[in-house]
């Protein structure tokens, strides 16, 4: 949430895809947390829209099931529950048919009257992407967007599957909604520690002077998952890790780390600085892709003692699929601050750990003093942990107690979610959308430039006759991902958990220093 918080106005949320997975796992629990935290006042209503005919009772039973299973806040008393669900209703709509929106319109009006709402309407499309355009058109044609108050469209990713399709979608949407009314979700931007990057950088005088190519050697961003494709093969086979993770979440983190300080903490000022990073991001021509970008696909293997099948044996996946489940890349932001600093990113499924981390590796010092054979010293690292652990970790070098020349790595740690649970990304994003704060949503120019970066990579891979490299489930990707850094004389730093044994233990031997 930006400090430029606007007015929270009573509103109706029309939730398309109300019987889907995202609603159950994320959106209903987020609404419940906001309500429990008094961030949603008593003047709101949620009208769920789905394909299936469902009575209100059945819908409310599903709502309860979702909240008791996934909400981070425990179930409330029966009395409070009844008050909460009085705001919810459901209607089935064939969303492709503009004439079928009549019952939805009546429901919306009924709840606006019931809670005396002023006609502010928020439309959330938690739908298959091919429906985004048609639903947005039908909202206008059915008159649902002609309300007395504001109207906002929240749209899930993926926004298109390449630049052309994204442009078409954007044109379709812009018939019914202005750019300021469109809230494109990238849920990584709702994560506490992604939002915190800006604060860590711009509220601490000790980082900003060093945050450039004079002092930073390289940056590494890892987003690894232990899960495989799960039940999403129909989507993932056409998306792959490049479109699913790199085009959005990974590039968003690059922008947050590399942006210049905005002139003010105003939505457009922040977004302007972010988009400048994308404009300076070096785009690879198709023939440069093989050298700078690595893809991989998981084969069978083991994670935590469990035997797991390879991607090609997963339900719904083509037996000869060449969809990538892993991407690593070397990026450059060609501007004055970052020229020459490689930014290595990697993301993959079925890796040894679920973690998202950003590692800033500072340049090494001259070797004449402490960097000698007595000391096994590494460079200073600043590690920003995005999830599941949230926090920061600064790796320094200091003298070992009681020795003259032994210098050891020590760590300073800050944990963001050790004592208090952080809000879920969808809580902050829904709240921001309700208050009209679009800072942590993606603007059209960000989306389009991200596709310009990704499209040539996709084309290069679509054209190659080479077999996709494989990596066993439970490993850190194909060998090529390690060679990408080895070629530059660098290595991927171990992630949290793997690093713990080698660094924190040493740090604990030096408590007096901290």
Q: Smallest distance from the beta carbon of 66 to ligand BG6, in angstroms?
A: 18
Q: Smallest distance from the beta carbon of 127 to ligand BG6, in angstroms?
A: 14
Q: Smallest distance from the beta carbon of 353 to ligand BG6, in angstroms?
A: 12
Cβ(46)–Cβ(112) under 8 Å? no
Task: Compute the distance between CA of residue 246 and CA of residue 265 in angstroms, rounded to an integer.
Answer: 26
Q: Smallest distance from the beta carbon of 438 to ligand BG6, in angstroms?
A: 19
Q: Which residue is nearest to ligand BG6 (CB)?
A: 244
Task: Considering the complex, state which of residue 120 and residue 347 has its C-beta at the smaller distance from ligand BG6.
Answer: 347
Residues marked as catalytic: 249
Give the DSSP letter of residue 330. E
Rounded to 5 degrees, φ, ψ at 317 are: -100, 135
Binding site for ligand BG6 (CB under 6 A): 225, 244, 356
Task: Considering the complex, state which of residue 93 and residue 185 has its C-beta at the smaller distance from ligand BG6.
Answer: 185
Rounded to 5 degrees, φ, ψ at 26 are: -120, -50
Q: How many CB atoms lie within 10 A of CB 250?
A: 25
Residue 497: left (phi > 0), alpha (psi -120 to 50), or beta?
left
Task: Compute the distance between CA of residue 96 and CA of residue 134 in angstroms, rounded to an integer.
Answer: 6
Q: Nearest Cα to 121, choosing from 79, 150, 155?
A: 150
Q: Smallest distance from the beta carbon of 226 to ligand BG6, in angstroms?
A: 10
Task: Considering the complex, state which of residue 217 and residue 244 has its C-beta at the smaller distance from ligand BG6.
Answer: 244
List Cα–Cα distances, 6 to 133, 150, 434, in angstroms: 28, 13, 9
Q: How many CB atoms lie within 10 A of CB 15?
A: 27
Rounded to 5 degrees, φ, ψ at 12 are: -105, 130
Q: Smallest distance from the beta carbon of 415 to ligand BG6, in angstroms?
A: 18
Rounded to the nearest angstrom, the gap between the alpha carbon of residue 472 and the centroid of all alpha carbons in its chain is: 25
Task: Compute the distance between CA of residue 49 and CA of residue 459 in angstroms, rounded to an integer.
Answer: 37
Structure tokens of 129? 């992407």
Where are the strands (E) in 315-406, listed by range? 326-331, 343-348, 355-362, 381-387, 391-399
Task: Considering the complex, state which of residue 91 and residue 442 has its C-beta at the smaller distance from ligand BG6.
Answer: 442
Question: ω into residue 158 within 30 of 0, thus cis?
Answer: yes
Q: Smallest distance from the beta carbon of 120 to ligand BG6, in angstroms?
A: 28
Q: Nearest Cα to 212, choosing from 94, 363, 314, 323?
A: 363
Task: Considering the complex, state which of residue 91 and residue 222 has its C-beta at the smaller distance from ligand BG6.
Answer: 222
Q: Smallest distance from the beta carbon of 35 to ligand BG6, in angstroms?
A: 22
**What is the CB-side half-sphere exposure of residue 400 using CA atoms within 13 A?**
15
Q: Smallest distance from the beta carbon of 440 to ligand BG6, in angstroms?
A: 14
Task: Considering the complex, state which of residue 426 and residue 431 has its C-beta at the smaller distance from ligand BG6.
Answer: 426
Task: Considering the complex, state which of residue 354 and residue 490 has its C-beta at the smaller distance from ligand BG6.
Answer: 354
Task: Compute the distance between CA of residue 441 and CA of residue 439 in angstroms, rounded to an integer.
Answer: 6
Rounded to 5 degrees, φ, ψ at 426 are: -70, -25
Task: Considering the complex, state which of residue 340 and residue 388 has its C-beta at the smaller distance from ligand BG6.
Answer: 388
Task: Considering the complex, state which of residue 244 and residue 324 has its C-beta at the smaller distance from ligand BG6.
Answer: 244
Task: Compute the distance between CA of residue 37 and CA of residue 31 in angstroms, rounded to an integer.
Answer: 10
Question: ω into residue 132 within 30 of 0, thus cis?
Answer: no
List Cα–Cα distances, 278 to 161, 225, 334, in angstroms: 18, 25, 10
* Axis crossing angle, helix 163-174 with helix 444-463, rounded to the nearest 10: 150
């Amino acid at each position: 949430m930006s400090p430029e918080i606007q007015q929270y106005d009573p509103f109706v949320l029309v939730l398309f895809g109300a019987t889907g997975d995202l609603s159950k796992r994320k959106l209903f629990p987020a609404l419940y947390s906001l309500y429990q935290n008094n961030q949603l006042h008593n003047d709101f209503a949620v009208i769920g829209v789905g394909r299936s005919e469902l009575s209100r009772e059945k819908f409310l039973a599903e709502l309860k099931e979702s909240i008791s299973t996934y909400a981070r806040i425990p179930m409330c008393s029966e009395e409070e529950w009844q008050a909460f669900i009085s705001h919810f209703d459901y209607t089935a709509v064939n969303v492709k048919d503009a004439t079928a929106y009549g019952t939805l319109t009546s429901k919306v009006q009924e709840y606006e009257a019931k809670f005396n709402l002023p006609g502010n309407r928020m439309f959330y499309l938690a739908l298959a992407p091919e429906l985004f355009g048609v639903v947005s058109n039908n909202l206008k044609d059915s008159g649902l967007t002609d309300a007395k108050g504001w109207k906002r469209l929240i749209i899930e990713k993926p926004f298109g599957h390449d630049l052309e399709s994204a442009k078409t979608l954007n044109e379709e949407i812009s018939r019914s909604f202005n750019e300021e009314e469109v809230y494109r979700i990238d849920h990584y931007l709702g994560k506490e520690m992604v939002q915190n990057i800006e604060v860590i950088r711009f509220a601490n005088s000790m980082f900003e002077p060093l945050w450039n190519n004079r002092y930073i050697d390289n940056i590494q961003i890892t987003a690894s998952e232990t899960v495989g494709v799960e039940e999403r093969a129909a989507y993932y086979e056409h998306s792959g890790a490049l479109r699913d993770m790199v085009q959005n979440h990974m590039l968003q983190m690059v922008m947050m780390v590399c942006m210049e300080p905005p002139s003010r903490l105003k939505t457009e000022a922040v977004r302007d600085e972010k988009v400048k990073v994308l404009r300076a991001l070096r785009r690879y021509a198709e023939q440069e892709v093989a050298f700078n970008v690595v893809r991989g696909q998981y084969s069978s293997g083991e994670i935590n003692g469990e035997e797991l099948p390879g991607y090609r044996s997963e339900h719904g996946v083509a037996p000869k699929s060449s969809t990538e489940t892993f991407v690593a890349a070397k990026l450059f932001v060609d501007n004055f601050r970052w020229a020459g600093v490689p930014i290595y990113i990697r993301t993959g499924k079925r890796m040894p750990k679920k973690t998202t981390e950003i590692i800033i590796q500072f340049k090494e010092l001259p070797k004449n003093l402490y960097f000698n054979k007595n000391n096994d010293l590494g460079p200073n690292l600043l590690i920003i942990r995005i999830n599941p652990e949230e926090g920061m970790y600064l790796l320094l070098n200091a003298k070992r107690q009681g020795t003259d020349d032994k210098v050891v790595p020590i760590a300073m740690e800050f944990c963001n979610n050790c004592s208090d649970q952080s809000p879920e990304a969808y809580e902050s994003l829904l709240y921001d959308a309700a208050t009209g704060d679009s800072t942590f949503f993606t603007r059209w120019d960000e989306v389009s430039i991200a596709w310009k970066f990704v499209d040539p990579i996709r084309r290069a891979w679509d054209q190659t006759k080479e077999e996709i490299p494989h990596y066993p489930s439970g490993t850190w990707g194909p060998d090529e991902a390690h060679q990408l850094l080895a070629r530059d004389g660098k290595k991927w730093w171990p992630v949290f958990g793997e690093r713990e044994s080698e660094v924190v233990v040493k740090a604990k031997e030096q408590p007096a220093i901290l």
